[in-house]
Amino acid sequence: MKKVLITVCGRAGSKGFKNKNLKVFLDKPLVYYTLASAVYFKENSGADVDICLNTDSDILAGIVAEKYQEVTYIPRPRDLAGDVVPKMAVFQQSLEYMEEKLGKKYDYLIDLDITSPLRQIDDVLGAYKMKLDRPDAGLVFSGCPSRRNPYFNMVKRAGDHVEKVIESPYTARQQAPAIYDLNASIYVFETDFLRTNTTGILWETKCLLYPMRDTAVLDIDSEEDFRMMQLIGSYLFENVEGFKKVRDIIR
């Protein structure tokens, strides 16, 4: 049986949007949407799964403990709580902490972002299965089809004018290579890659992309983002089956 560690990571502070990890989203704590996906994965993946919360926020830890007692709280060290700390360092600390605490050696680490709650119920399972099917890849991450394409309808400033980001002969969007926006919602790591990475750079292994519905490109970095996502989420969680099942778990 594969051993999987799910990490949910959230800092106490945020310069872009204060206390964003503590927000209430559609009348439930924002973090519960991520934890609902984690719990569903644990119950349906066929793997030996542990879930942990890595944070320097006692308030966030309390919110999680109130509903999800099975989640292990990892106090985040001060040196990993800064604005520019690579998130991979937090994953590595979580992996080391949990392996030492539980006496396990995990095969995979899955990180689920708190501020990207628009996941369908099978998205985490889908990304995990993609990784199982591709042992040659060190990482699967999620993304969405981009609405703009640098080969066709995106431009950059060039002196006194603008020009295409990538010079190309394409006259129709459908001719251009498929482009995806990364959404930071789901990361599935081979733990051996995490253990040996010293730079914090994801691209030092073969990466695969798990495609999600395009609404999942949204994440919460501002008050406006939060309000817009609540509007979209209120529709999705009431009308689209994959989202409704996440909401049902929270209820």
Tokens 């944070």: give the residue.
55
Q: What is the pLDDT of residues 143-190, one digit of tens each?
A: 999 999 999 999 999 999 999 999 999 998 899 999 999 999 999 999
Mean pLDDT, rounded, for 116-145: 97
Q: What is the pLDDT of residues 202-213, one digit of tens each?
A: 999 999 999 999
N- to C-terminal Cα separation, the chain: 30
Using pLDDT thresholds of 50, 70 and 90, give the confidence band for residue 79. Answer: confident
User: Is the predicted pLDDT of residue 225 greater than 80, yes or no?
Assistant: yes
User: Is the predicted pLDDT of residue 18 greater than 90, yes or no?
Assistant: no
Starting at the edge strand that comes first in sequence, how are the strands of the sheet with 108-112 ordered?
A: 72-75, 48-55, 3-10, 108-112, 180-190, 139-145, 207-211
Query: Is residue 121 within 8 Å of 246, Cβ to Cβ?
Result: yes
The rounded percent of the chain whose pLDDT value lies above 70 is 98
- Other residues' Cβ atoms within 10 Å of the Cβ of residue 100: 9
The rounded percent of the chain whose pLDDT value lies above 90 is 85
Using pLDDT thresholds of 50, 70 and 90, give the confidence band for residue 8. Answer: very high
User: Is the predicted pLDDT of residue 133 greater than 80, yes or no?
Assistant: yes
Using pLDDT thresholds of 50, 70 and 90, give the confidence band for residue 218. Answer: confident
User: Is the predicted pLDDT of residue 23 greater than 80, yes or no?
Assistant: yes
Nearest Cα neighbor of 213 from 126, 153, 110, 112 is 126
Give the separation between CA 192 and CA 139, rounded to whole angstroms.
10
* CATH code for the part of the protein at 3-145+180-250: 3.90.550.10
| Residue 36 structure tokens | 């609902």
Give the separation between CA 73 and CA 97, rounded to whole angstroms.
10
**Least confident among 16-25, 66-75, 92-101, 239-248:** 16-25
Please return the burial class of 30, using the count of CB atoms within 10 Å of its CB with bins 0-12, 13-18 and 19+. buried
Query: Which residues lie closer than 8 Å to 131 by C-beta, 6 or more apart?
Result: 108, 137, 140, 188, 190, 208
Mean pLDDT, rounded, for 93-101: 97
**Least confident among 56-65, 74-83, 226-235:** 74-83
User: Is the predicted pLDDT of residue 84 greater than 90, yes or no?
Assistant: no
- Per DSSP, helices labelled H in 122-219 are 123-133, 191-196
Give the separation between CA 6 and CA 54, rounded to whole angstroms.
10
Mean pLDDT, rounded, for 116-138: 97
- Other residues' Cβ atoms within 10 Å of the Cβ of residue 74: 22
Using pLDDT thresholds of 50, 70 and 90, give the confidence band for residue 15. Answer: low
User: Is the predicted pLDDT of residue 250 greater than 90, yes or no?
Assistant: yes
| pLDDT value, residue 227 | 93
Give the separation between CA 103 and CA 105, rounded to whole angstroms.
7
pTM: predicted TM-score of the whole model, two decimal places: 0.94
Give the separation between CA 7 and CA 116, rounded to whole angstroms.
14
| pLDDT value, residue 202 | 92
